[in-house]
Structure 1
Amino acid sequence: MAPGGFFGRALIVDVGDDAATAAVCELDDQVLRAYLGGAGLGTWLLHRFAPPRVDPLAPEAPLAFVFSSLVGTPLTTSAKFAVVAKSPLTGLLTDALASSQFAIAGKLTGHDALVVRGRAAQLSVLLIDGDGVRLEPAPELAGLPAAEAETQARQRFGRGWRTAAIGPAGERQVRYATVSHDGRHAGRGGLGAVLGAKNIKAVLVRATTKVGVADEAGVLAASKDLRRRSFGPATAKYRELGTLANLLAFNAVSTLPTRNFTAATFEGAPRLAAEELHEMRGVARNSCASCSIGCEHIYSRKGGGSQRMEYENVFALGPLCGVSDPDDVFAASAKCDELGLDTISAGGTIAWAMECVERGLIDEPWLKFGDGRVLLRALEAIGARSPGLGELLAQGSWRAAGIVGQGSIDFAPQVKGLELPGYEPRSLQSMALGLAVNSRGADHNRSGAYEADLSGEVNRFRGGDAHVSAAVGTEDRAAVMDSMILCKFLRGVFEDPFTEWATLLSLVTGWAVDADELRGTAARIVRAKRAFNQREGATAADDTLPARMLETPLPMASGRTATLTAQQLQAMVDSYYVTRGLDEEGRVRPSDLPDLLFD
C-alpha cells in the first residue's frame, strides 16, 4: 500500500503512429521516500527511462510530468508540478516547476508521474485520465500560441480537462521553448522543444480519483497555520510589488546585469521599476492555484490589454539588452508568451547577438543595444527559426557561439548552455559558485546563494569557505522544496525549515521523517542530478563561468571594481566538491551510487 499522498505508480506512455499505449511503473516506498516527488523523483525516472547519451529530441527520450505527496492537499502553494527531461539546450538534466490546476488534475489521474516517450505520426494531443490514455490528431492547433491551443482543446474535449501545451517555438523545436498552462510556464531548458519533437501539441489530464493523507486533522491544522504565516513579513515584498521589486534594489548595489554583462547598473532602471509601474500601470494582482501569497502583478499595456511581469523577464528583455522603454519590454515579454519562449534564454541570446553585431561578428546592423523595437523582430525570427539569424539564435547562446566562433563564447552569458539569470556573479560571489556548479546550469531557482550575498551574511566581493557553505545550504533547501513541492517564496516563512518540512511530510505520508533524514534526502537528490549529468558526459570543466566574469573586472556605481578570477572560483569549486563528498573531479563516488537506488 502506498504511503499517504502517493499512489505508488508512474504511468509510462508511448506515443507512436496514430495511437498511444501505456504501462505502469510501480514506485515502492523506498524510492518515494528517497526522492519525495517533483524534481527529485523526476531525476530518478530519467535515470531509469532515458537511454544513456540519448538525443534530447529523439523519440526515445522521455519527458516526465511529476507530482508530489503535497499536491491536492490544502497546504498553500502545493499545486505545483515538475517537468523533467534531458535538455535540448544543454544536453544535461533539466527540471522546470510550474503551478496550476494541471498539477492537481494530473496527479488525480491516479499517478505520481506521467512519462511520455515516442513520436506521434502527426501533430496530436495526448489525453490521460483514470480510464487510460488516447492520442487524438490535432492539426487545427498547429502554429497556435499555447493559450489558444488550451482554449480550443477545452472546447473540443470539455471543461473538465486541464491542459499543458506548447507554442509555435515548441513545434519548431527552438531549444529554449516552454511548456505552458493557465498562462504560466515550465520555462527553462527547452522542455517545449522535447514535447514538440514528439509531435505532441498538448497533454490533457482529467481528475478521476482521490488520494488520502495519513493524518487529515493534522494536515488541516498545519495548512491553516502555514496559510496564516504566509501573510507575514517574509512574503510582503512579493504581495505588494512582486518579484519586479528586485530591480531597483539590484541596480543600487551593482548586481543588475546590463548590456550582456558589461555593466551591473542600468541608467534606465527607474522606468522599468515595480514602484513606477505599480503607480502608473498596475491593474491587478493574481495568485497561482492553491496559493495565498499572490505574487503575480498585472500591468496595462500600450494600446490595450495587460501583461504579467516579473523581475527575470524584465531584466532579460530590458537592461540585459539595454532597453528602458517599458512598452517595448512588455511587448517583447508578450511575444515570448505567444511563441512559447523562455524569456531569460531569449533575452540572453539576443544580448549576446547584439554584442556580436557591435564587434562585427554578425552582419545584422539593425540589432543594436538599446533599441527596443528590434526585440520583436528578433523574437519573431527565433520563433519561426527563419534562415540565418533566426535559426542561429534558436540554438541558444552557447551553441550559437560555437557556430560564430571568433571568441564569442567568452561573452556568451551561459553556464553549461543555460543562459544566466539576473544576478551579476562578480558582485555576488556565493551566487557565482552556485551558478557554476548547479546541475541545471546557470540557475537562480535551484541554487539561491544570492541570499547570503545580499543579506550581508558573507562578503559578496570575496568568495571563500563561507560562500561554499551558503551555496550548499541553499542548494539543499531548494532540492527539498522542489521535490515536496513548495513555492520558494515561502522559504522565509519557515524558521527551522528541515524540521518543519519533515513535520508536513510526516503528516501527509505517515512516515516518521525527521530533519536529519530530510537533509540526507536533499544531498541524495543533488548527487543524483550530478550522476545523471556525469553519465551524459559532463565533467569538472563544465563547473565554471563565462570567461568575461573571470577575466574582466566589473565597474560599479561606487567607483570601485568587483573582480572574480578563475583561481578564486576554482578554489570555491574544489571546496564545494569536498563538502559534497564528490571526488576531486566533481564526480559522484562509486561508493555513493547504491544510495541513489538506480538499480
Structure 2
Amino acid sequence: MAPGGFFGRALIVEISGRGTTSSPLELDDRVLRAYLGGVGLGTWLMHRLAPPGVDPLAPEAPLAFVFSSLVGTPLTTSAKFAVVAKSPLTGLLTDALASSQFAIAGKLTGHDALVLRGRADELSVLLIDGDGARLEPAPELAGLSADQAEKAARARYGRGWRTAAIGPAGERGVRYATVSHDGRHAGRGGLGAVLGAKNVKAVLVRAATKVAVADQAAVLAAARDLRQRSFGPATAKYRELGTLANLLAFNAVNTLPTRNFTAATFEAAPRLAAEELHEMRTVARNSCASCTIGCEHIYSRKGGGSQRMEYENVFALGPLCGVSEPDDVFAASAKCDELGLDTISAGGTIAWAMECAERGLIDAPWLRFGDGAALLRALDAIGARTPGLGELLAQGSRRAAAVVGQGSIDFAPQVKGLELPGYEPRTLQSMALGLAVNARGADHNRSGAYEADLSGELDRLDGGAAHVAAAIGTEDRAAVMDSMILCKFLRGVFTDPFTDWAALLASVTGWDIDAEELHTAARRIVRAKRAFNLREGATAADDTLPPRMLETPLELTSGRQATLTAERLNTMVSGYYAARGLDPSGRVVQKDLADLLIDVL
C-alpha cells in the first residue's frame, strides 16, 4: 500500500505512429521516501528510464511530468508539478517547476508521474485520465501559441481537461522552448523542444480519482497555519510589487547584469522598476492555483492588452540587452510567451549576439544594445528558426558561440549551456559558486545562494569557506522544496524549515520522518542529479563560469572593483566537493551511488 499522498505508480506512455501503449511502473515506498516526489522522483526516473547517452530530442528520450504527495491538499502553493528530462540545451539533466490546475488534475489521473516516450506520426494531442492514455491527431493546432492551443483544446474536449502545451518554438525545436499552461511556464532547459520532438502539441489530463492523506485533521490544521503565515512580512514584497521589486535593489548594490554582463548597474533601471510601473500603469494581481501569496503582477500595455512581468524577464529582455523602453520590454516578454521561449535564455543569447554584432563577429549590423526593435526582430527570427541568425540563436549561446568562434565563447553568458539569470557573480560570490556547480547549469532556483550574499552576514565580494557552506545550505533547501513541492516564496515563513517540512510530510504520508532524514534526502537528490550528469559526460571542468567573470574585474559605483579569479572559484569548488563527499574530481563515490537506489523497483 502506498503512503498517504501517493499512488505508488508512474504511468509510462509509449507513443508510436498514431497511437499509444501504456504500462504502470510501480514505485517502491523506499524510492518515494528517499526522493520525496517532484524533482527528486523525476531525477530517479531519468536514471531508470533514460538510455545512457540518449539524444534529448530522440523518440526514446523520456519526458516526465512528476507530482508530489502534497498536490491536491489544501496546503498553500502545493498545486505544483515538475517537468524533468535530459535538456536539449545543455545535454544534462533539467527540471522545471510550474503551478496550475494541471498539477492537481495530472496527479488525480491516479499516478505520481506521467512519463512520455516515442514520437507520433503527425502533430497530436495526448489525453490521459483514469482510462489511460490516447493520442489524437491535431494538425489544426500547428503554429498556435500555447495559450491558443489550450483554448482550442478546452473548446474541443471540455473544461474538465487541463492542458500543458507548447508554442511554435517547441514545434520547431528551439533548444530553450517552454511547456506552458494557464499562462505559466515550465521554462528552463528546452522542455518544450523535447515535447515537440515527440510531435505532441499538448498533454491533456483529467482527474479520475482521489488520493488519501494519512492524517486529514493534521493536514487541515497545517494548512490553516501555513495560510496565515503566508500573509506575513516574509512574503509582503511579493504581494505588493511582485518579483520585479528586486530590480532597483539589485541595481543599487551592483548586481544587475547589464549589456551582456559588461556592467552591473543600468542607468535606466528606474524606468523598468516595479515602483514606477506600479504608479504609471493599471496593475492587477493574480495567484497561482492553491496559492495565498498572490505574487503575480499584471501591467497594462500601451495600445491595449496586459502582460505579466517578473524580475527575470525584465532583467533578461531589458538591462541585459540594454533596452530601457518599458513597452519594448513588455512586447518582448509577450512575444516570448506567444512563441514559447524561456525569457532568460532568449535574452542571454540575444545579448551575446548583440555583443558579437558590435564586435563585427556576426553579420547583423542592425542588432545593437538598447534597440528594442532589434530585440523583437531577433525574437521573431528565433521563433521561426529563420536561416542564418534565427537558426544560430535558436541553439542557445554556447552552441552559437561554437559556430561563431573567434573567442565569442568567453563572453557567452552560460554555465553548462544554460544562460545566466539576473545575478552578477562577481558581486555575489556565494551565488557564483552555486551557479558554477549546479546540476541544471546557471540557475537561481536550484541554488539560491544570493540570499546569503545579500544577508550582510558575509562578504559577498570575497568568496571563501563561508560561501561554500551557504551555497550548500541553499541547494539542500531547494532540493527539498522542489521535491515536496512548495513555492520558494514560502521559504521565509518557516521557523525551522527541515523540522517544519518533516511535520508536513508526516501528516500527509504517515511517515515517521524527521529533519535529519530530510537533510539526508536533500543530499541524496543533489548527488543523484550530479550522478546523472556524470553518466552523460559531464566533468569537473564544467563546474565553472564564463571567462569574462573570472578574468575581467567589474567596476562598481563606489569606485571599488569586484574581482572573482579562477583560483578563488576553483578553491570554492574544491571545498564544495569535499563538503558534499565527492572525490577531488567531483565524482560521486561508490557508497553514495548505492544509496541512490537506482536499481530499486
What TM-score bracket applies, with the shorter chain setting the length?
over 0.9
C-alpha separation in 1, matches of 2:74 and 2:506: 15
In the TM superposition, what whole-angstrom CA distance separates every residue of 1:251-291 from its partner, at most 9, and x where no partner exists? Answer: 00000000000000000100000000011113200000000
Q: How far did 1:67 drift?
A: 0.1
Q: How far did 1:392 drift?
A: 0.1
SS of residue paired to 2:154 = helix
Q: How far did 1:458 drift?
A: 1.1
SS of residue paired to 1:204 = strand
C-alpha separation in 2, matches of 1:164 and 1:219: 29
| Unaligned ranges ≥5, structure 1 | none
Q: How far did 1:555 drift?
A: 0.8
C-alpha separation in 1, matches of 2:28 and 2:209: 20
C-alpha separation in 2, matches of 1:77 and 1:577: 33
The one-letter code of the counterpart of 1:44 is W
> Which residue of structure 2 lines up, in the alignment, with residue 283 of structure 1?
283
The one-letter code of the counterpart of 1:278 is H
C-alpha separation in 1, matches of 2:391 and 2:458: 43
Total equivalences in the alignment: 599
> Which residue of structure 1 lines up, in the alignment, with residue 371 of structure 2?
371
> Which residue of structure 1 lines up, in the alignment, with residue 110 of structure 2?
110
1:565 counterpart = 2:568: no
Trace 1:234-273 onto structure 2 (pairs within 5 A): 234-273=234-273
> Which residue of structure 1 lines up, in the alignment, with residue 590 of structure 2?
590
1:232 counterpart = 2:232: yes
Trace 1:503-542 onto structure 2 (pairs within 5 A): 503-542=503-542
C-alpha separation in 1, matches of 2:306 and 2:559: 39
Report % sequence identity. 84
C-alpha separation in 2, matches of 1:597 and 1:28: 10
SS of residue paired to 1:366 = coil
SS of residue paired to 1:127 = strand
C-alpha separation in 1, matches of 2:108 and 2:264: 46
C-alpha separation in 2, matches of 1:60 and 1:191: 15
In the TM superposition, what whole-angstrom CA distance separates every residue of 1:150-208 from its partner, at most 9, and x where no partner exists? Answer: 00001111110000000000000000000000000000000000000000000000001
In the TM superposition, what whole-angstrom CA distance separates every residue of 1:549-597 from its partner, at most 9, and x where no partner exists? Answer: 0000001111111000000000000000000000000010112111000
> Which residue of structure 1 lines up, in the alignment, with residue 22 of structure 2?
22
1:434 counterpart = 2:409: no
> Which residue of structure 2 lines up, in the alignment, with residue 45 of structure 1?
45
> Which residue of structure 2 lines up, in the alignment, with residue 411 of structure 1?
411
The one-letter code of the counterpart of 1:159 is R
Q: How far did 1:28 drift?
A: 1.1
Q: How far did 1:91 drift?
A: 0.1
C-alpha separation in 2, matches of 1:67 and 1:526: 18
Question: Do 1:282 and 1:297's aligned partners in 2 also have CA atoms closer than 8 Å?
Answer: no
In the TM superposition, what whole-angstrom CA distance separates every residue of 1:536-556 from its partner, at most 9, and x where no partner exists? Answer: 000000000000000000011
Trace 1:198-347 onto structure 2 (pairs within 5 A): 198-347=198-347
> Which residue of structure 1 lines up, in the alignment, with residue 380 of structure 2?
380
C-alpha separation in 2, matches of 1:540 and 1:581: 14
> Which residue of structure 2 lines up, in the alignment, with residue 150 of structure 1?
150
C-alpha separation in 1, matches of 2:66 and 2:262: 39
SS of residue paired to 2:522 = helix
> Which residue of structure 2 lines up, in the alignment, with residue 176 of structure 1?
176
C-alpha separation in 1, matches of 2:557 and 2:97: 35
Q: How far did 1:71 drift?
A: 0.1
Q: How far did 1:374 drift?
A: 1.0
Question: Do 1:77 and 1:288's aligned partners in 2 also have CA atoms closer than 8 Å?
Answer: yes
C-alpha separation in 2, matches of 1:470 and 1:255: 18
1:470 counterpart = 2:450: no
In the TM superposition, what whole-angstrom CA distance separates every residue of 1:324-347 from its partner, at most 9, and x where no partner exists? Answer: 000000000000000000000000
C-alpha separation in 1, matches of 2:279 and 2:34: 47
The one-letter code of the counterpart of 2:464 is G
SS of residue paired to 1:455 = coil
> Which residue of structure 2 lines up, in the alignment, with residue 399 of structure 1?
399
C-alpha separation in 1, matches of 2:126 and 2:21: 11
The one-letter code of the counterpart of 1:157 is Y
| RMSD, matched Cα | 0.4
The one-letter code of the counterpart of 1:495 is T
C-alpha separation in 1, matches of 2:143 and 2:431: 38
The one-letter code of the counterpart of 1:242 is G
| Unaligned ranges ≥5, structure 2 | none
C-alpha separation in 2, matches of 1:416 and 1:210: 41
Q: Which runs of 4+ in 1 moved over 2 A?
A: none
C-alpha separation in 1, matches of 2:480 and 2:302: 41
C-alpha separation in 2, matches of 1:580 and 1:458: 21
C-alpha separation in 1, matches of 2:470 and 2:292: 29
SS of residue paired to 1:106 = helix
In the TM superposition, what whole-angstrom CA distance separates every residue of 1:124-152 from its partner, at most 9, and x where no partner exists? Answer: 00000001110000000000000000000
TM-score (norm 1): 1.00
SS of residue paired to 2:155 = helix
C-alpha separation in 1, matches of 2:457 and 2:185: 33
In the TM superposition, what whole-angstrom CA distance separates every residue of 1:202-240 from its partner, at most 9, and x where no partner exists? Answer: 000000100000000000000000000000000000000
The one-letter code of the counterpart of 1:50 is A
Q: How far did 1:400 drift?
A: 0.2
Q: How far did 1:375 drift?
A: 1.2
In the TM superposition, what whole-angstrom CA distance separates every residue of 1:475-497 from its partner, at most 9, and x where no partner exists? Answer: 00000000000000000001100
The one-letter code of the counterpart of 1:516 is E
SS of residue paired to 2:7 = coil
> Which residue of structure 2 lines up, in the alignment, with residue 161 of structure 1?
161
C-alpha separation in 1, matches of 2:20 and 2:174: 25
> Which residue of structure 1 lines up, in the alignment, with residue 443 of structure 2?
443
C-alpha separation in 1, matches of 2:534 and 2:450: 26
